[in-house]
């Protein structure tokens, strides 16, 4: 891939002298969905698919961007002196947002750049192509200009840029999973305390299979921010009757005891998901530590049902993929992953069942939805690297 990127860089920008090449992964969340902004636990892992970036410093303040995924847009030009969101230059708002966030932290980017990106994460799939670009950009800036920031800082900078530059009220999970990824491990992260541990995922005789619904969705214009607001309303009302800082502070029994404080039925359902999903995630990691992959799979299934019924972020496409997966022998667990409203499912599938899984789920999906889903057997990889 490095040679392909350098060749394209030379074609687009004239030559490939003094060009550095980097990679940042995508991520999939195994369980713990919509808990990261509710002070709960999440359990994501970095993938071996992600975003490649080639970059070269310039002698002026100009920024030139090119994406091999959006070649029809050509070279998009900007400047370090005008770091503001541009609706016409959609994808460049992610790298520009990170440069802006570095400067907000007092780290002035001293020179312009030519930047070429190529991602092999499906666009709009919910595997965090935007967070991958953010972490990649931060990693490149650190390496090129010697900024003293840790990988954990890169995650926080990426989240800050997405919240305040791109206007998407995302939690920390995506950027953290990408910046802190470790091969064959998922990250058990307490988003309230920012404490984490690596937990090995041993899938003897099974693989992770991502099914991409191919229903496009944009986080900013989806109901993502609405769900956050509903949870904030529920939390404020619960705080009138119990001393908590986040929904993640509650266990199931406490929620059932105090849920009457939440006046709106919809907000009550949203809060129930946040509380129960958080406890499910804790139990899922315990099951994994005991090498009980079947229990982990059952908790994945329960997670999807809660996201479907209480959080209402699945939709016909994701429900079809999951419900058809549950019918296939050899599927240990399956659920939607990511923000929802389209995007992907993640399933643990026994090796001997993967072909049948693709065929049966794929056929049923095409018949019901009218267009095809894509399937990827993926591996758990490391965080960002210089190639």
Find out whether 87 and 29 touch, Cβ atoms under 8 Å. no
Percentage with pLDDT > 90 across the chain: 80
Structure confidence at residue 223 as a pLDDT band (50, 70, 90) = confident
Task: Determine the Cα–Cα distance for residues 383 and 22; give it in Å rounded to an integer.
Answer: 11
d(CA 237, CA 261): 6
Once rounded to an integer, what is the mean pLDDT over residues 43-72?
Answer: 94
Tokens of 178: 């990408």
- Considering 174, 249, 310, 319, which one is annotated as catalytic? 174
pLDDT band at 348 (very low <50, low <70, confident <90, very high): very high
Residues 6+ apart with CB under 8 A from 247: 38, 39, 40, 231, 234, 235, 238, 271, 274, 275, 278
The chain-wide mean pLDDT, for the chain, equals 92
CA nearest to 171, candidates 188, 156, 186, 193: 156
Q: Are 25 and 49 in contact (CB under 8 A)?
A: yes
Mean of the pLDDT values across residues 57-77? 94
Q: In which order are the strands placed within the sheet that holds 44-57? A: 76-79, 62-67, 113-119, 44-57, 20-29, 385-386
Question: How far is it, in rounded angstroms, from Cα 118 to Cα 69?
Answer: 6
**pLDDT for residue 220:** 43
**Is 224's pLDDT higher than 60?**
yes
Element (H, E) at 349: strand 344-350
Task: Please classify residue 69 by burial: count the beta carbons closer than 10 Å to its beta carbon, then call 0-12 exposed, 13-18 middle and 19+ buried.
Answer: middle
Answer whether CATH 3.40.50.2000 is correct for domain 2-201.
no
Packing angle of the helix pair 265-289, 224-238 (nearest 10 deg): 100
Count the alpha carbons within 13 Å of 349 in the hemisphere toward its beta carbon. 30
Tell me the three-class secondary structure of 118-131, residue by residue.
Answer: EECCCCCCCCCHHH
User: What pTM does this model have?
Assistant: 0.86
* Residue 36 among the catalytic residues: no
The residues, ordered by sequence, that sit 6+ positions from 367 with a Cβ below 8 Å of its Cβ are none
What is the rounded distance in angstroms from the CA atom of residue 60 to the CA atom of residue 283?
A: 53
Lowest mean pLDDT among 108-117, 286-295, 328-337, 362-371: 286-295
* Partners of residue 348 on adjacent β-strands: 208, 333
* pLDDT higher than threshold 80 for residue 148: yes
| 3-state secondary structure at position 69 | coil
Distance, CA of 283 to CA of 216 (rounded, Å)? 32
Q: Is 380 helix (H, G, I), strand (E, B) or coil?
A: strand
CA distances from 258 to 234, 243, 251, 263, 309 (A): 11, 11, 11, 11, 21
What mean pLDDT do residues 88-108 have? 92
pLDDT band at residue 123, thresholds of 50, 70 and 90? Answer: low
DSSP structural state of residue 31? S
- Per-residue confidence (pLDDT) for residue 125, from 0 to 100: 62
Structure tokens at 91: 């994808």
d(CA 40, CA 31): 11
Chain segment 245-273, per-residue pLDDT in tens: 999 999 999 999 999 999 999 999 999 99
Helix (H/G/I), strand (E/B), else coil: 180: coil
**What confidence category does residue 88 fall into, taking pLDDT thresholds of 50, 70 and 90?**
confident
Domain positions in the chain are 2-201
């Amino acid at each position: 891939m490095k040679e392909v990127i350098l060749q394209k860089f030379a074609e687009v920008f004239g030559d490939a002298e003094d060009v550095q090449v980097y990679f940042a992964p995508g991520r999939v969340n195994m369980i713990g969905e919509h808990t990261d902004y509710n002070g709960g636990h999440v359990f994501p892992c970095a993938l071996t698919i992600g975003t490649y970036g080639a970059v070269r410093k310039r002698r002026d303040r100009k920024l030139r961007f090119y994406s091999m995924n959006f070649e029809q847009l050509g070279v998009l030009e900007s400047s370090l002196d005008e770091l503001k969101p541009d609706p016409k230059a959609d994808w460049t708002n992610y790298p520009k947002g990170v440069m802006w966030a570095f400067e907000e932290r007092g780290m002035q980017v001293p020179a312009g750049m030519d930047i070429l990106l190529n991602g092999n994460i499906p666009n709009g799939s919910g595997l965090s192509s935007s967070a991958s670009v953010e972490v990649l950009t931060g990693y490149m800036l650190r390496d090129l200009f010697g900024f003293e920031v840790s990988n954990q800082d890169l995650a926080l900078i990426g989240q800050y840029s997405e919240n305040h530059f791109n206007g998407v009220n995302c939690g920390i999970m995506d950027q953290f999973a990408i910046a802190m990824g470790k091969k064959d491990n998922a990250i058990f992260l307490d988003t309230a305390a920012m404490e984490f541990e690596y937990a090995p995922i041993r899938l003897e005789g099974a693989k992770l299979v991502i099914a991409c619904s191919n229903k496009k969705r944009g986080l900013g214009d989806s109901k993502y921010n609405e769900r956050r607001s509903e949870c904030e309303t529920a939390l404020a009302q619960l705080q009138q009757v119990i001393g908590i800082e986040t929904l993640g502070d509650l266990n199931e029994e406490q929620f059932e005891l105090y849920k009457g404080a939440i006046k709106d039925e919809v907000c009550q359902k949203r809060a129930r998901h946040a509380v129960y999903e958080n406890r499910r995630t804790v139990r899922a990691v315990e099951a994994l530590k005991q090498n009980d992959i079947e229990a982990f799979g059952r908790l994945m299934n329960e997670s999807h049902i809660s996201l479907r019924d209480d959080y209402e972020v699945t939709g016909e496409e994701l429900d079809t993929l999951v419900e058809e997966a549950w019918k296939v022998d050899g599927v240990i667990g399956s659920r939607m992953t990511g923000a929802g409203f389209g995007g992907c499912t993640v399933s643990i599938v026994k090796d001997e069942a993967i072909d049948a899984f693709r065929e049966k789920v794929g056929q049923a999906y095409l018949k019901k939805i009218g267009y095809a889903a894509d399937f990827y057997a993926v591996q758990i990889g490391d965080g960002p690297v210089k190639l």
